């Protein structure tokens, strides 16, 4: 599972990049054999005005399937990233759970 981080208008601190990679690996690692790549798209929608403006869109690319996405906005990037990863994890659970139950149904 390759992890890619995109933030065209932002220079991300190394600590944030490390946090994203570590958290993605910890939370999504159990799906790693099903995923080719996980992409993070970070943006600051309000620039320097503050508020809930740190946006994280995370996109998972499962092998042989359409990409799945989740997003979250927060006051801090770490918060937005963590919530987006957790949402994506639930989406992947549902998608892969449906696949495995379908596969079990065909096993008879």
Element (H, E) at 39: strand 35-44
Predicted confidence at residue 108, as pLDDT, reads 41
Q: What is the pTM of this model?
A: 0.87
Distance of CA 23 to the CA centre of its chain: 10
User: Which pLDDT tens digit goes with each residue over 25-78?
Assistant: 999 999 999 999 999 999 998 776 767 789 999 999 999 999 999 999 999 999
Q: Residue 69 has what DSSP assignment?
A: E
What tokens were used for 24? 């993605």
Spell out a b/e string for 71-96, using b for 16 or more CB atoms within 10 Å of the CB, else e: ebbbeebbebbbbbbbbbbeebeebb
Percent of the chain scoring above 90 in pLDDT: 75
84 against 102, higher pLDDT: 84
Domains of the chain as residue ranges with CATH: 2-106 (3.30.160.100)
């Amino acid at each position: 599972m390759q992890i890619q981080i995109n933030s065209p208008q932002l220079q991300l601190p190394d600590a944030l990049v490390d946090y994203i990679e570590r958290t993605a690996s910890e939370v999504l690692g159990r799906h790693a054999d099903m995923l080719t790549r996980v992409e993070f798209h970070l943006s600051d929608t309000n620039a320097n005005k503050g508020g809930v403006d740190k946006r994280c869109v995370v996109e998972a690319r499962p092998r042989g399937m359409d990409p799945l996405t989740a997003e979250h906005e927060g006051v801090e990037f770490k918060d937005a990233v963590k919530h987006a990863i957790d949402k994506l994890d639930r989406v992947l659970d549902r998608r892969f759970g449906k696949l495995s139950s379908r596969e079990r149904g065909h096993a008879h």
